[in-house]
Amino acid sequence: MERSYDIAIGGAGPVGMALAAMLVRHGAAPGRIALIDARGLEQAVQDPRSLALSWGSRQLLEEIRAWPASATPIREIHVSRRGHFGRTLIAADEFGLPELGYVSRYGSLVQALASAVTQAGVTVLRPMQIASRIEQADGITLALANGTTLKARVMVQAEGGLFADQPGKAISRDYNQTAVIAHVTVDHPLAGRAFERFTGEGPLALLPQDDGYALVWCLRPARASQVAALPDAAFLAQLQQAFGQRLGRFLTVSPRISYPLGLNTGAAQSARMVAIGNAAQTLHPVAGQGLNLGLRDAAVLARMLAMDATPLTLQHYAVQRRGDRSLTIRVTDTMARIFASAPDGAHTQGLLGLSLGLIDTVRPLKQLLAEQMMFGRR
């Protein structure tokens, strides 16, 4: 038996679930929306990753009553270059805001979004894999792994590597870096202050979370493997040397997780299918903009599809999102490629300290950077 919908959403991660709830908020009929994901909700809730959410993302999530209760606020962001002069300090009160952003556990966010989707009344199929898809003149037919079929007027791909018959897109730029992530505690925490510290191998970010900090440490792949495998005491000693003494002494570290970093953009779009979020672009974590850009994708697409779920709407959406996507990708890629990936001693590394000092003293530059990080364009 074939079930019919207006909109099928492939991927029930944060961006896919946000899109589903936003569609209903903008007037789409919940019974005409299908949300499909290969993972069960319990598995997603156990995901240990930490997520950076901007002030603008909080506004979007609160509109659909999906703000995670346990998010830790970021009121200041301190950006510096290890061993060099120059730094930038961006503070929320400079812009008349209570916070610049937040740090949430992935599981907390997906729980809040799952509740919002349930309350909205959207059809959720999980765990369920899409075996294949056939695009026709009047819609897209999806063959599901349980043998049933589903037909939709349009489809939104919200996660990469979604289809069983289609591997994930190739990375278009390899930064030659691996991110090591963990949770650490220190003996002199600074409430509400996040740190982005550039080293010779890549950026090292510490984001306030719970009783400590979420760590994202970008290193050359071989060194990342070595560092991640160190005993806790040796790992903390290496981290102390790389970060310095701004937070006092590092005390504890959780088990480490690592993943390679690259730029993945340029998702193919057909007449009746469009990609958003990580399915459209996977960014370096240097500026913490990946999820925030994806939520802006969802917000714009929801407003448009709720009025008219047609191929013409998908074309208009692609045009409307081009500016924000292009700027965010360009800024992130530039930081990762020039400042994060250049070898230590390269002239671009020396320019970083000068650039940070300039941003800190020239108000328009600082405001432009802060506004893009907090709100983007949507």
Yes or no: say if 215 and 103 are a contact pair by the CB < 8 Å rule: no
| The CATH number, out of the four listed (3.50.50.60, 3.30.750.24, 3.40.50.1100, 3.40.50.740), of the domain defined by the range 2-63+105-170+263-327 | 3.50.50.60
**Token couple for 162:** 């979604």
Instruction: Evaluate the CA torsion angle 123, 126, 131, 132 in order and state its sign.
Output: positive
Read off the pLDDT of residues 291-350 as tens digits, 9 standing for 90 and up: 999 999 999 999 999 999 999 999 999 999 988 888 888 777 777 776 555 555 554 444
Burial of 180: CB neighbours in 10 Å, binned 0-12, 13-18, 19+: buried
Is 80 exceeded by the pLDDT of residue 25?
Answer: yes
Neighbours of 290 (CB within 10 A): 20
Tens digit of pLDDT for each residue in 78-130? 887 765 555 678 888 887 888 888 999 999 999 999 999 999 999 999 999 99
Residue type, 340: A
Angle, helices 311-334 vs 363-374, to 10°: value is 130
In three-state secondary structure terms, 176 is strand
Strand-pair category, 72-74 with 101-105: antiparallel
What element of type H or E holds 56? Answer: helix 55-63
Token pair of 60, please?
């979007």
